[in-house]
Amino acid sequence: MKRVFIALKVDPGRELLKLYSSLNALLEAENIKWVDPGNIHLTLAFLGDTEEKRIKILSDMLGDICCDFKEFDFVLSGTGIFKNIRDPRVLWIGIKSADRLFAINSLITEGLKINGFNTEERPFSPHLTLGRMKSVRDAGNLKSVIERYRDYQIQIVHVTEVILYESILKQTGPIYKILGSFVLS
């Protein structure tokens, strides 16, 4: 079994790295497990434990989808949290200009269902996870920081490929191994 997910790699530009550093400093009192900037990605589908023989099916499906899907851009913009300000779980960067992102996610989700893979029931909510939290010490400060960067345009991401990753969990944090890269037309 391999723990797998389908994602878009996001190479952090100068503005994203600057925001990452600012958030880290402004929220240093919080217990946040920060995502390594080299691991930043946008998840299209998380499959979890998958039999190795099924990975070939995933690869074929992604190859078929990607060869007919054109390259596209989306915009990283704003910050937020999942759950709520009193009980935050994920600190994220938002996405704008995401029509093509929703389109490719829809094709992938449909392909997964057709090929007998389980898919998440919740609606697709494109974002980049910057950090994970179990609790908040100063909800007022967290709210203030989120508000400060709510409409902050960070960078344009040009998408040229979809990647099938294996996530190998280690005590120091996950290692993402590329199982396949599928170039868009």
Given a contact cutoff of 8 angstroms between Cβ atoms, the answer to whether 179 and 166 are in contact is yes
Catalytic site positions: 41, 127
- C-beta of residue 103 within 8 angstroms of C-beta of residue 71: no
Give pLDDT tens digits along the chain (185 positions).
999 999 999 999 999 999 999 999 999 999 999 999 999 999 999 999 999 999 999 999 999 999 999 999 999 999 999 999 999 999 999 999 899 999 999 999 999 999 999 888 889 999 999 999 989 999 999 999 999 999 999 999 999 999 999 999 998 889 999 999 999 99
Split into its structural domains, the chain has a count of: 1
Which CATH number fits the domain that encloses residue 38?
Answer: 3.90.1140.10
Token couple for 162: 């979809």
Q: Residue for token digits 């499906």?
A: 61
Q: Which domain holds residue 19?
A: 2-183
